[in-house]
């Protein structure tokens, strides 16, 4: 019966197909409302269970956000947002929740309302919910910007001081992030106060207005930003801890298998060779090569181990290259902690098979009561399993290294492939 709900008749008319799309959209909104109710109830039951177990109030519910994110197949750092969204809707914003259940609001538009009311007290949030519901009257024709603007306007009227205080605290969240862009490009995003951001953009725009050398305005602005931040010309090869992993056959030009650029992802073999060649040829950009080995079956790194409790530098670097990002399923955060899957206090060895690269939040979340983590090699692949307090098990497998497809081996030593870790000046190659 459930499957039939989503069956599509190839002979359906255009009007029937439109009705199906509308019905699916309402179902998605209703499902989001049901998820919110389930998460809020889950939080209540977890808090009661933790209280019954004698946990102090500050530790009750710890790790629940990560569980919710894993259940939603989302990054663990989004779990707190999902839980906060659910609690706000269920306990403080009944009209917004009802509009979501009826399909009048999408999950994202409901999120915008909750986000803009986050700085208010519970009573003011309930008042905003009532006023906005009355004003919108079903949100018919309301887009994202109108929903957001209306919520902001009501919040500012209810408690202007709280809105101003939130804006002041937002300055503490200023940061710089990167994310991959198509065609071996990258987006560099700077989050900063509006006055500084507008000032920065105006300075770059001014540089473009006074430069006439055949480059477009956008090219001049991008080049100027790079040169003013790094102090180096865009014509000089980069030498700022740029870590590149590629097969030795690709480096020698025997194949064109993609390489892996730390902090970016896969890049074409030709681009990687050019990047490496430029660094080697330029006297101001030194390149160091380090040989690693990948397993002949899985393509993953061959293990290392240490007798020390803490991961020594070479083994830590090895795990970082193997895992690339946090090993918690669905998490794409950078690695901040190197942790023993089986803790050292329980006899867990300091070796690659028992080591995991984790972000800070995931490392702390798995220390909550009821969590267990294990890791090891399975047929040449490094596999980690995370078991939550409710008994759900999630597995993650380390990605293979760049290079040609691996072949069947006769022995463990035969068929190993060498790869070179290319590191530029400023990276400790000891």
Q: Assess if residue 241 is contained within a domain.
A: no
Does residue 183 share a domain with residue 160? no
Residues 162 and 21 in one domain: yes
- Same domain as 112, residue 215: no
Which range of residues forms the domain containing residue 388? 305-399
The reply to whether 48 and 99 lie within a common domain is: yes
> pLDDT (tens digit, 9 = 90+) per residue, 199-233?
999 999 999 999 999 899 999 999 999 999 988 88
Task: Tell me what pLDDT residue 321 has.
Answer: 82
DSSP assigned state of 388: -
Query: Is 264 contained in some domain?
Result: no
Helix ranges, 94-216 (H): 94-101, 107-116, 122-136, 144-158, 160-170, 194-209
Q: Are 139 and 210 in the same domain?
A: no
Classified as helix, coil or strand, 183 is coil
The pLDDT value recorded for residue 430 is 34
Residue 391's pLDDT is: 94
Residues 103 and 192 reside in one and the same domain: no
Residue 92 lies in a domain: yes
pLDDT digit string, tens, across residues 319-329: 888 888 899 99
Cβ-based neighbours of 245, under 8 Å, separated by 6 or more: 259, 260, 262, 292, 321, 401, 402, 419, 420, 421, 422
pLDDT of residue 134: 95
pTM: 0.73
Examine the domain organization and report whether 65 and 166 are in the same domain.
Answer: yes
The pLDDT assigned to 194 comes to 87
Angle between helices 107-116 and 14-52 (to 10 degrees): 50
Residues 158 and 212 in one domain: no
411, part of any domain: no
pLDDT along the chain (430 residues), means of 10: 73 93 95 97 95 91 94 93 96 97 96 95 96 94 95 94 88 88 88 91 94 92 93 71 65 70 72 68 60 60 56 81 90 89 85 90 90 89 93 91 54 40 37
Show Cβ contacts of residue 118 under 8 Å, excluding neighbours closer than 6 positions.
84, 88, 166
Locate 16 and state its tokens.
Answer: 């029937």
Tell me the three state secondary structure of residue 152.
helix
Looking at the fold, whether 99 and 17 belong to one and the same domain comes out as: yes
> Which DSSP category does 5 fall into?
G
Residue 426 has a pLDDT of 34
In a domain, 389, yes or no: yes
- Does the residue 242 lie in any domain? no
How far apart CA 340 and CA 343 sit, in angstroms, is 5
Domain termination residue (choose one: 139, 154, 170)? 170
Q: Does residue 316 sit within a domain?
A: yes
**Residue 173: CB partners within 8 Å, gap ≥ 6?**
191
298 and 397 Cβ atoms separated by less than 8 Å: no
Picking from 153, 170, 187, the residue at the C-terminal end of a domain is: 170
Q: Are residues 162 and 14 in the same domain?
A: yes
The reply to whether 12 and 160 lie within a common domain is: yes
Q: Residue 267 has what pLDDT? A: 75
- Secondary structure element (H or E) that encloses residue 289, with its range: strand 287-294
CA distances from 57 to 5, 77, 384, 390 (A): 44, 22, 31, 20
* Structural domain total, the chain: 3
Same domain? For 181 and 321 the reply is no
Say how far apart CA 76 and CA 392 lie, in whole Å.
Answer: 15
Of 214, 230, 246, the residue at which a domain comes to its end is 230
d(CA 42, CA 393): 18
Question: What contacts 24+ positions apart, CB below 8 Å, involve 25-29?
Answer: 25/103, 25/106, 26/102, 26/103, 27/103, 28/106, 28/107, 29/100, 29/101, 29/102, 29/103, 29/104, 29/105, 29/106, 29/107
Q: Is residue 267 part of a domain?
A: no
């Amino acid at each position: 019966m459930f499957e039939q709900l989503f069956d599509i008749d190839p002979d359906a008319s255009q009007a029937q197909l439109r009705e199906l799309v509308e019905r699916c959209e309402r179902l998605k909104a209703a499902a989001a409302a049901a998820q919110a109710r389930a998460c809020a109830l889950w939080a209540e039951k977890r808090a009661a269970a933790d209280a019954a177990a004698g946990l102090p109030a500050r530790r009750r519910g710890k790790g629940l956000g990560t569980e919710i994110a894993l259940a939603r197949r989302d990054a663990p750092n989004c779990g707190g947002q999902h839980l906060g969204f659910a609690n706000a809707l269920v306990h403080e914003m009944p009209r917004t929740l009802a509009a979501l259940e009826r399909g009048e609001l999408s999950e994202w538009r409901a999120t915008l309302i909750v986000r803009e009311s986050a700085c208010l007290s519970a009573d003011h949030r309930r008042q905003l919910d009532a006023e906005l519901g009355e004003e919108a009257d079903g949100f018919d024709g309301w887009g994202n910007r109108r929903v957001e603007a209306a919520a902001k306007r009501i919040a500012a009227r209810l408690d202007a001081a709280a809105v101003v205080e939130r804006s002041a605290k937002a300055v503490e969240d200023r940061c710089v992030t990167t994310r991959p862009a198509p065609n071996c490009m990258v987006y560099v995003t700077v989050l900063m106060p509006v006055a500084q951001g507008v000032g920065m953009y105006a300075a770059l725009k001014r540089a473009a207005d006074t430069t006439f050398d055949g480059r477009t305005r956008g090219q001049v602005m991008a080049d100027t930003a790079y040169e003013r931040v790094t102090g180096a010309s865009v014509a000089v090869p980069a030498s700022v801890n740029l870590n590149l992993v590629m097969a030795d056959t690709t480096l020698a030009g025997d194949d064109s298998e993609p390489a892996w650029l730390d902090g970016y992802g896969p890049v074409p073999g030709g681009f990687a060779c050019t990047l490496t060649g430029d660094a080697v040829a330029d006297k101001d950009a030194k390149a160091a090569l380090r040989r690693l080995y990948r397993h002949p079956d899985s393509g993953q790194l061959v293990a290392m181990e240490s007798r020390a409790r803490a991961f020594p530098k070479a083994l830590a670097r090895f795990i970082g290259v193997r895992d690339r990002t946090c090993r918690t399923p669905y998490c794409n955060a950078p690695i901040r902690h190197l942790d023993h899957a089986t803790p050292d206090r329980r006899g867990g060895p300091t070796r690659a098979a028992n080591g995991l690269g984790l972000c800070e939040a995931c490392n702390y979340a798995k220390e909550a009561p009821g969590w267990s983590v294990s890791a090891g090699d399975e047929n040449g692949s490094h596999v980690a399993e995370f078991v939550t307090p409710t008994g759900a098990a999630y597995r993650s497998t380390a990605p293979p290294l760049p290079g040609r497809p691996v072949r069947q081996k006769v022995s463990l030593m035969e068929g190993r492939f060498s790869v070179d870790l290319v590191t530029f000046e400023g990276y400790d190659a000891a």
